[in-house]
Structure 1
Amino acid sequence: MQTVLRRFQLVSGVVMLTYLFLHLINHALGIWSLDLAGHGLVLALRLWRSAPGTVALYGAASVHFGLALHTIYARRHWALPAAEWLRLWAGLSLPMLLIRHAVSTRLASSLYGFQPDYERVIVVLLTSGTQGLQLALLAPGWIHGCLGLWFRLRHYAWARRMKHALLALVVLLPLLSAVGFLRMMRAVEGKSRTLAPVDPTLVAHQLALDAWRHHLVTLYLALVASAWILGQLRNSVERRRLRRNLLSS
C-alpha cells in the first residue's frame, strides 16, 4: 500500500510540477513581449481548461493534497532535516497563495464569465497592490515540487551527474519568470498614464469572490489543522498503550 501511495504522490506531483513549469515559461515569454506571453496564455488555457486537462490538474491536486493530509496524520515525529522542513513549508504555503489567484481567475471565469488575459490580470494586481503576491505565487510550489522530485531522482547515477544543470534550471526559471512578469507590468503601465479600469465583471462580483476566497482558505487551514491534531492524538494513545504494555510485561 505504501508503494502504491508513493506512486500516486509521484504522478500527481509531476502533473502539478508540469503545470508550474509551463506557467513559469509563460511568464518568461513576457521578456520578449506582452503579446507573445498572451499567445502562450491562450495555449495554456486551451490545455488546462479542456476536459482532460481539467481532470488531470484538479485530480492531481486533490490526490496530492489528500496524500499530504495522510502524511501529516501518520507522521510519528517531526524531527526532520532542513530540506524536508523547506519542502513542507513550500508545499503547505502554496495553497494559501494559490487560492487568491484561482478565485480571481478560474472561479471568476467559471461562475461569472470573466475572461483572463495578462493585461486584465496585471491591471487587477496593480490596482489592488498585490503584484508582489503574483511574483511570489509560484515559488513555493516550484521549490516543493523540485525538492520532491529530486528526493526521488537522487538515487540514480544519471540524475547525480546532471545535478548542477538541474539546479541551474530550478534557480534560473523562476528568475526569468519574474523578469518577464515585471516587463509585462511595465508594458501595461506604459500604455497610458492611468491604468485601465478593472474588469466590471470582477467589480460586480467582488464580494462573492471574497467570500469564496475566505471560505476556501478557512477550509484548507481546518483540514491541515485537523490532520495534525488527529495525528497527535493517535500518537499520544499509542504511547500510552506502549507504556502500559511495558509495565504489564
Structure 2
Amino acid sequence: MIQNLRLYSGLTLFAYVLTHLLNHIAGIVSPELMESFSEFSTEIWQFPPLEILLFLALITHFVLAASRLTGRRSLRLRKSEWAQMILGLSIPFLMFRHLIATRIIDLGFDVESNYERVLLDLAVFVPMQGILQAITVIVVWAHGCIGIHFWLRVKPFYPRWRNVLATVSILIPTLALAGYAAASAEIIRRVEEGGRKYVFGVLEAADVNQAAINFYENALIPCSILTLALAFCPFGIRQIRQTIDRVKRGPMLSLPNGRSVRVPPGATALEALRDAGIAMASVCGGHGRCTTCRLHCGSGLEQLAAPGQIEAAALKSIQAPRGMRLACQIRPQNDLAVAPLMPPNATARDGRRPGGLSGSERQVVCVFIDLRDSTKLGERKMPYDVLFILNQFFAEMTEALRSTGGYYAQFTGDGLMALYGHQTDDIEGTILQAFEGAAEMLRRIEGLNEHLASELPHKLRIGIGMHMGKAIVGEMGPPGRENISAIGDTINTTARLEAETKGHGVPLVISKTLFDLGPIPLPENAVLHEVALRGKDQSVAYYALDAMPDLTQLKQ
C-alpha cells in the first residue's frame, strides 16, 4: 500500500512536470504561444480538485521518500539510487522560490503569473534565479526519470522500449530548455527596445504590488532554512536510530560459507547483507517487485513473519517453493540461516524466471564418481576412441543410477555427481538406495572392463565418495538449459571425500553419517578417518573401504 502511494504520487507529480515542459517547448516560437498552450497544459492543474490532488501528491511523495530514507539501516546503494535520493531531497530547496513567486503570490495577493511576467522576473530582474530554474528543470526531470526507470525495468516490455524512452527523456527537457532560453531572450529584447514603459506595462497587467514583493522577500530566508532542514532531517533521524540500534543486540544471519551478519533492529535482510559488504541482486531497488534478492531460509524460518501482500504476490508469481523469501521484505527478529539464490548481477529477466537457483532445502545423499587415470587413457588412445569409451562409461553409470532410484545431477568431465532422496523423506530407504547404486556402479565397471578388454590400455577404475546432509536442491543453470542439481556444504564435503579415494587407494570413501543414520552394517575391519575441509574449521569423519559392505541381508 505504501509503495503504491509513493509510486502513484510520483507519477502524478511527473505528469505535472511533463505538461510544464511540453508547454515550455512552445517558447521556441514566442512567449505568447507558451501562454496560449498553457490553457491546455499547465492551467488545467489549477482546477481545484486537481490542485488539491497535486498538493497531496507532493506532500505524500516527499514524506514517504523521507521516511524510507530514515528507515534505511544501510546506505550501500547503487549510484543510480544515490542520484535519485539526492536529486529528490534537493528539489524543495530549488523549487520554493518559484512556487512562492507564482502560485502562492497568485492566491494570496491576486497577482497574475502569466509567462511574460514570470520570464521578466527570471530573465531580467533576477537572472541568477533564471539559471537556478533551468537547473531545477534538469533535477526534477532526472529524478522522475530515474524513478520511472526503477518502476519499469522489472516489466517484460521494458527492454524493447528502453532506448526509445531514453531518447524521449533526453529530447523533452532539451527542447523545453531551448524554449525557455528562446522565450527569455525575446523578453530581454523587448526590455531593451521598450525600456521602463514595457517593464511597468507588464507588471501593471499582472497586478504586481508591493505587498506581494515584500512577502516574497521576507519568505526567502525562512523557506531556505526550512527546505534545507527537510533535506538533512532524514539523515539526522537515521543517525539517531543507528546510535540506538548499536546498543541493542540484533539477530544474526548465517550464510552457507560460515559467515555471520548481524541485523540491526528493524532492518531488512537485504540492508544487513549489503551493509556487511555482501553483494546482493536487487533490480527494483528493494521494493519487492523483481524477486532477484531471493533467499532460501533454513533454520529460523518458522520465526519469520508471514509474507506481506507485496512479498506474497511476488513469490506467487514465480511459484516460489517453501523456504524462499525476499531479502528486501523480511525483517528478521531471530537468528536465521539464509542462502542467496541469485548472483549479484541478476537481471530483471532472471527475476521473472521461476527456475534459476530457486529450490528447497532437502536431506539428500550425494555421490561423486570419478574415473581414474582418464589422462593416461587420452595419451594412449585416439580422441574418438576416448570419446567412445567415455560414452560407454557414462551410459553404464547412468543406468546404475536409474535402476536404483538415483538422479544424474551434474557432469564433471571424467565423472559425475548423483543425488538420492531429493524427492522423498525416507532417510533409511534413501541410504540403502545410494549404497545399492554404488554397488551397481562397481559391478558395471567390472562388466565394462570385460566388454572393452581389447580396447582398453588398462582397466577402468572409479572412486566413489558418499555423504548425507542438507542441501539446496532445485533447477539450476543458464536460461533454457536448467537441470535439477544441488548446492551447499554437503555437496562440497562429498567432493572432498571422493578426492580421498586417491590417497587411500580404495574405490569407496563413505562418511560416518551414512552408517550412523542408515541400516548398512559397518565392515568389521573398517577404520575411522577424519579430514579437514578446505576453508573451514570443521572436519568430517569417514571410512575408506576397498569393497562394498554386505547388502544381501538387507534385501531379504
Q: Residue 208 of structure 1 aligns with which residue?
A: 215
- Please give the TM-score of this superposition, normalised by the length of structure 1: 0.90
Instruction: Give 3-state SS (helix, strand or coil) of 2:248's partner.
Output: helix
Matched, 1:186 2:185: yes
List gaps (5 residues or longer) in structure 2. 253-261, 263-556
Choose between structure 1 and 2: higher strand proportion. Answer: 2
Moved more, 5-14 or 49-58: 49-58
When residues 81 and 51 of structure 1 are mapped into structure 2, their CA distance, relative to the original with a 3 A threshold, is same
Q: Check whether the contact 2:6–2:64 (CA below 8 A) recurs between aligned residues.
A: yes
Matched, 1:34 2:31: yes
Give the Cα separation in 2 of the matches to 1:183 and 1:224.
33
Give the Cα separation in 1 of the matches to 2:10 and 2:224.
21
Q: Which of 1 and 2 has greater Rg?
A: 2
Q: Check whether the contact 1:108–1:114 (CA below 8 A) recurs between aligned residues.
A: yes
Give the Cα separation in 2 of the matches to 1:89 and 1:41.
30
Deviation at 1:159, TM superposition (A): 1.2
Q: Check whether the contact 1:108–1:202 (CA below 8 A) recurs between aligned residues.
A: no
Q: Check whether the contact 1:16–1:60 (CA below 8 A) recurs between aligned residues.
A: yes
Q: Which amino acid aligns with 2:49?
A: P
Q: Which amino acid aligns with 2:247?
A: R
Moved more, 50-59 or 215-224: 215-224
Identity of aligned residues (%): 26
Deviation at 1:59, TM superposition (A): 0.6
Q: Residue 221 of structure 1 aligns with which residue?
A: 228
Deviation at 1:182, TM superposition (A): 1.1
Give the Cα separation in 2 of the matches to 1:76 and 1:220.
24
Per-residue CA deviation, residues 85-121 of structure 1 (Å, 9 max, x unaligned), is: 1111211111111101000000110111110111111
Deviation at 1:164, TM superposition (A): 0.6
Q: Residue 174 of structure 1 aligns with which residue?
A: 173
Per-residue CA deviation, residues 18-53 of structure 1 (Å, 9 max, x unaligned), is: 011011101011112222111122334531111111
Give the Cα separation in 1 of the matches to 2:209 and 2:89.
28
Matched, 1:235 2:242: yes
Q: Check whether the contact 1:122–1:188 (CA below 8 A) recurs between aligned residues.
A: yes
Instruction: Give 3-state SS (helix, strand or coil) of 1:27's partner.
Output: helix
Q: Residue 131 of structure 1 aligns with which residue?
A: 130
Q: Residue 199 of structure 1 aligns with which residue?
A: 203
Per-residue CA deviation, residues 36-77 of structure 1 (Å, 9 max, x unaligned), is: 111122334531111111111111000001102201210111
Moved more, 47-56 or 220-229: 220-229
Choose between structure 1 and 2: higher helix proportion. Answer: 1
Q: Residue 321 of structure 2 aligns with which residue?
A: none
Pairing of 1:54-65 with structure 2 (within 5 A): 54-65=51-62
Moved more, 233-242 or 106-115: 233-242
Deviation at 1:202, TM superposition (A): 5.0
Give the Cα separation in 2 of the matches to 1:6 and 1:215.
32
Q: Which amino acid aligns with 1:71?
A: R
When residues 34 and 208 of structure 1 are mapped into structure 2, their CA distance, relative to the original with a 3 A threshold, is closer
Instruction: Indicate the RMSD between aligned Cα atoms, in angstroms.
Output: 2.1
Give the Cα separation in 1 of the matches to 2:89 and 2:187.
32
Matched, 1:94 2:91: yes
Q: Check whether the contact 2:119–2:187 (CA below 8 A) recurs between aligned residues.
A: yes
Pairing of 1:1-150 with structure 2 (within 5 A): 4-125=1-122, 126-129=124-127, 130-150=129-149
Instruction: Give 3-state SS (helix, strand or coil) of 1:58's partner.
Output: helix
Divergent runs of 4+, >6 A = 243-246
Instruction: Give 3-state SS (helix, strand or coil) of 1:157's partner.
Output: coil
Give the Cα separation in 1 of the matches to 2:150 and 2:245.
30
Give the Cα separation in 2 of the matches to 1:45 and 1:171.
21
When residues 38 and 239 of structure 1 are mapped into structure 2, their CA distance, relative to the original with a 3 A threshold, is same
Per-residue CA deviation, residues 179-229 of structure 1 (Å, 9 max, x unaligned), is: 101111122222352361473625443232122233233223223433322
Q: Which amino acid aligns with 2:126?
A: S
Moved more, 50-59 or 209-218: 209-218
Structure number with greater CO (CA < 8 Å, separation at least 6) is 1
List gaps (5 residues or longer) in structure 1. none
Q: Which amino acid aligns with 1:190?
A: R
Give the Cα separation in 2 of the matches to 1:5 and 1:39.
38
Q: Which amino acid aligns with 1:240?
A: V
Q: Which amino acid aligns with 2:111?
A: F
Q: Check whether the contact 1:41–1:117 (CA below 8 A) recurs between aligned residues.
A: no
Q: Check whether the contact 2:73–2:242 (CA below 8 A) recurs between aligned residues.
A: yes
Q: Check whether the contact 2:90–2:231 (CA below 8 A) recurs between aligned residues.
A: no
Deviation at 1:244, TM superposition (A): 11
Per-residue CA deviation, residues 152-178 of structure 1 (Å, 9 max, x unaligned), is: 110112111111111111111111001
When residues 202 and 100 of structure 1 are mapped into structure 2, their CA distance, relative to the original with a 3 A threshold, is farther
Give the Cα separation in 2 of the matches to 1:179 and 1:244.
55
Count matched residues.
Answer: 243
